[in-house]
């Protein structure tokens, strides 16, 4: 009886139509986002043409109606193509064009408040400076005044926050359980005038303003803030229960960093991030120089500088500066590569199948409609009052984009106009750019790896052919590079070990990373698992025997089977290519063969 490599690792393979890839890219990241031949550039141009029609014409679809009212800027970036940051789109609303102060025409150097995108910078400051022990030290041992809360002489888990269990790391991961707001700005009692609602008309008892604590004016010192924070009950029983967005948590994280390092966070941003990355338009405080004010979106709240809340949502920046920041994160410029990869991982799920939470990442899972492939988007949104934005990193493509916006409504409620426009614009960008990045990566993979590889030794009958298995031979590959043929010493390896299946090759080690491979080499893992959708129609799933998560676990075959079979300590599934400066393969070494095959065509 002959066993395939697939069967050796997992005898009872499930025949379910589910995604079987590793959680990662199908192809090496694309290098060309901006040339005249780039599919990404073409997609971006098509998107901007469509936006021009929506914003300047009368046939605007309902979901895009708010885009006209909001001022916004968006731009791509890539670590492989520096020119990608020139792919931008800007819209200046009629509101901004009429303002006397600030800019009347936004561009890549326009300064906005970035709102909660600030949280990403705060966590990075901590990652650069705090030790593992400091990250996991209880707040009660860091911040004066945050001892164990007591109610009626004893600890009450419903009304007392367990400060001796909450750590900076739980705050960074938004899973600490602390209340969302530490300041009373959105307390109905305080905000009744802004909302136009008298709380007593809703049946709530009349209360004095003093009940919300000393920060009733929205401006208070650290001791007063701590007093207010202590008075609020926890959201959940304790940290690591369930993720819950908390601005309050990042004010506390900023205070924890200050006490642990003996430095104000507002100075750490400049010293550790803005300065080293050349982010000259970014700051913890609104600019005072006339030149910077002239290129700022100045709405109500633009100059609202408050030390305590800067770590949560007080920074200012431009999309050009955010492109520098996003590129630095993907390139591991400030934080070493291993620490960066560890950071960019989920720490908790949400109630959605397509959304998880990190520190402080909001991780969305994009599902490619044609293949069902999942691409993870590591994002951080900002959405506060008149300003908002988002930084989106796409590690599979070593690319991303930034987005900033501003809009001043007649009341706090009107901020939903800006929020709605922001989300619509982000989806437009994602739906245009993600398929184009995948198609460009596939196109470059065809150029860089397809062909026949043979030994220069005439006595060695060994051949590898890299192709793809699309039914349309003129199309770019949709399912990855395919190992079309593998002859080793005159023997058909595919027939012997893969039961004639034509495996796909998926990237496993990129060129020159961490010194693991010398510059000019890339590694792939062969997989016999097909790539199909991970979200199968329930009725279709039942027809192939899937009745629940365990019978449908074929979606995870690759992580279960990778590296399952070795010969002489070399993985049968590993293929290493030598590539030139343009990323084009010159030869391949199937690891178990211990021989180099030269690319012929």
Tens of pLDDT, residue by residue over 484-532, are 999 999 999 988 887 767 888 989 888 765 544 456 889 999 887 655 5
Last residue of a domain, one of 406, 429, 452: 406
Residues 253 and 302 in one domain: yes
Q: How confident is the model over 13-55, as pLDDT tens digits?
A: 333 333 446 788 999 999 999 999 999 999 999 999 999 999 9
Cβ atoms 318, 281 nearer than 8 A? yes
Cβ atoms 122, 250 nearer than 8 A? yes
Distance separating alpha carbons of residues 17 and 427, to the nearest angstrom: 27
Residues 455 and 529 in one domain: yes
| CA distances (Å), origin 184, targets 209, 394, 415 | 10, 36, 18
Residues 143 and 229 in one domain: yes
Residues 286 and 237 in one domain: yes
Which pLDDT does position 16 carry in this prediction? 34
Residues 329 and 470 in one domain: no
Residue 273, token pair as written in the block: 């991030």
Last residue of a domain, one of 387, 406, 425: 406
Least confidently predicted of 224-233, 332-341, 471-480: 471-480
Residues 22 and 88 in one domain: no
pLDDT above 90 coverage of the chain, percent: 57
Q: Please provide the average confidence, as pLDDT, over all residues in the chain.
A: 85
Q: How confident is the model over 449-466, as pLDDT tens digits?
A: 999 999 999 889 999 999
Q: How confident is the model over 523-559, as pLDDT tens digits?
A: 999 887 655 555 556 676 676 677 776 666 655 566 6
Q: Could you tell me if residue 40 is inside a domain?
A: no
Q: How confident is the model over 158-175, as pLDDT tens digits?
A: 878 899 999 999 999 999
Residues 20 and 115 in one domain: no
**Full residue range of the structural domain in which residue 288 is found:** 71-183+220-406
Which pLDDT does position 321 carry in this prediction? 98
Q: What is the pTM (predicted TM-score) of this model?
A: 0.90
Q: Could you tell me if residue 558 is inside a domain?
A: yes
Residue 151: φ, ψ to 5°:
-130, 125
Query: How many structural domains comprise the chain?
Result: 2
Residues 17 and 99 in one domain: no
Residues 397 and 475 in one domain: no
Q: How confident is the model at residue 12 (pLDDT cuts 50, 70, 90)?
A: very low
Which pLDDT does position 14 carry in this prediction? 32
Which pLDDT does position 600 carry in this prediction? 92
Q: How crowded is the C-beta side of 561, counted as CA atoms within 13 Å?
A: 26
Q: Could you tell me if residue 119 is inside a domain?
A: yes
Which pLDDT does position 110 carry in this prediction? 98
| CA distances (Å), origin 460, targets 181, 185, 589 | 71, 76, 14
Residues 375 and 311 in one domain: yes
Q: What is the CA radius of gyration of the chain?
A: 27
Which CATH number fits the domain that encloses residue 275? 3.40.710.10
* Residue 60: closest CA among 418, 424, 409, 414: 424
Residues 10 and 120 in one domain: no
In the predicted model, is pLDDT for residue 475 greater than 60? Answer: no
Last residue of a domain, one of 406, 427, 456: 406
Q: How confident is the model at residue 332 (pLDDT cuts 50, 70, 90)?
A: very high
Q: Which residues contact 202 (CB under 8 A, 6 or more apart)?
A: none
CA dihedral sign of residues 340, 342, 343, 344? positive
């Amino acid at each position: 009886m002959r066993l395939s490599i697939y069967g050796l690792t997992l005898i009872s393979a499930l025949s379910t139509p589910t995604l079987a890839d590793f959680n990662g890219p199908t192809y090496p990241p694309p290098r060309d986002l901006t040339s005249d031949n780039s599919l990404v550039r073409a997609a971006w141009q098509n998107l901007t043409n469509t936006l021009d029609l929506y914003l300047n014409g009368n046939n605007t679809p309902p979901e895009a109606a708010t885009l006209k009212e909001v001022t916004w800027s968006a731009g791509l970036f890539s670590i492989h193509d520096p020119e990608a940051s020139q792919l931008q789109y800007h819209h200046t609303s009629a509101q901004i064009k009429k303002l006397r102060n600030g800019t009347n025409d936004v561009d890549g150097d326009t300064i906005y408040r970035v709102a909660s995108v600030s949280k990403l910078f705060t966590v990075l400051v901590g990652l650069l400076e705090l030790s593992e022990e400091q990250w996991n030290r209880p707040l009660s041992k860091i911040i004066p005044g945050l001892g164990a809360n007591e109610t009626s002489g004893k600890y009450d888990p419903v009304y007392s926050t367990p400060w001796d269990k909450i750590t900076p790391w739980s705050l960074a991961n938004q899973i600490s359980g602390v209340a969302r707001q530490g300041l009373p700005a959105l307390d109905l009692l305080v905000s009744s005038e802004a909302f136009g609602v008298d709380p007593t008309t809703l049946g709530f008892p009349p209360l004095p303003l003093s009940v919300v604590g000393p920060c009733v004016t929205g401006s208070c010192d650290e001791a007063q803030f701590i007093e207010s924070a202590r008075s609020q009950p926890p959201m959940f029983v304790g940290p690591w229960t369930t993720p819950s967005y908390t601005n309050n948590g990042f004010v506390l994280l900023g205070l924890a960093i200050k006490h642990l390092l003996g430095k104000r966070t507002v100075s750490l941003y400049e010293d550790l991030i803005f300065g080293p990355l050349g982010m000259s338009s970014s700051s913890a405080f609104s600019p005072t120089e006339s030149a910077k004010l002239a290129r700022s979106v100045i709405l109500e709240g633009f100059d609202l500088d408050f030390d305590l809340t800067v770590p949560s949502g007080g920074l200012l920046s431009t999309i050009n500066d955010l492109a520098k920041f996003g590129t630095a994160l993907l390139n591991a410029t400030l934080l070493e590569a291993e620490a960066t990869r560890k950071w960019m991982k989920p720490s908790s799920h949400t109630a959605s199948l397509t959304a998880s939470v990190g520190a402080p990442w909001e991780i969305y899972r994009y599902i490619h409609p044609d293949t069902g492939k999942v691409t993870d988007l590591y994002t951080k949104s900002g959405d506060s009052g008149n300003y908002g934005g988002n930084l989106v990193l796409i590690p599979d493509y070593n690319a991303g984009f930034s987005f900033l916006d501003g809009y001043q409504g007649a009341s706090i409620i009107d901020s939903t106009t800006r929020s709605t426009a922001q989300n619509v614009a982000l989806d437009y960008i994602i739906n245009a750019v993600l398929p184009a990045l995948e198609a460009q990566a596939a196109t470059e993979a065809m150029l860089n790896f397809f062909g026949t590889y043979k030994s220069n030794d005439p006595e060695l009958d060994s051949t590898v052919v890299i192709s793809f298995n699309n039914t349309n031979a003129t199309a770019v590959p949709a399912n990855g590079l395919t190992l079309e043929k593998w002859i080793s010493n005159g023997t058909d390896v595919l027939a012997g070990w893969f039961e004639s299946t034509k495996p796909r090759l998926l990237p496993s080690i990129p060129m020159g990373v961490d010194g693991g491979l010398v510059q000019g080499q890339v590694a792939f893992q062969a997989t016999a698992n097909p790539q199909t959708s991970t979200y199968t129609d329930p009725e279709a799933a039942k027809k192939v025997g899937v009745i629940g998560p365990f019978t449908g676990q074929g979606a995870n075959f690759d992580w279960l089977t990778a590296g399952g079979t070795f010969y002489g300590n070399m993985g049968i599934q590993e293929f290493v290519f030598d590539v030139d400066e343009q990323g084009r393969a010159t030869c391949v070494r199937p690891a178990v063969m211990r021989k180099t095959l030269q690319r012929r065509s």
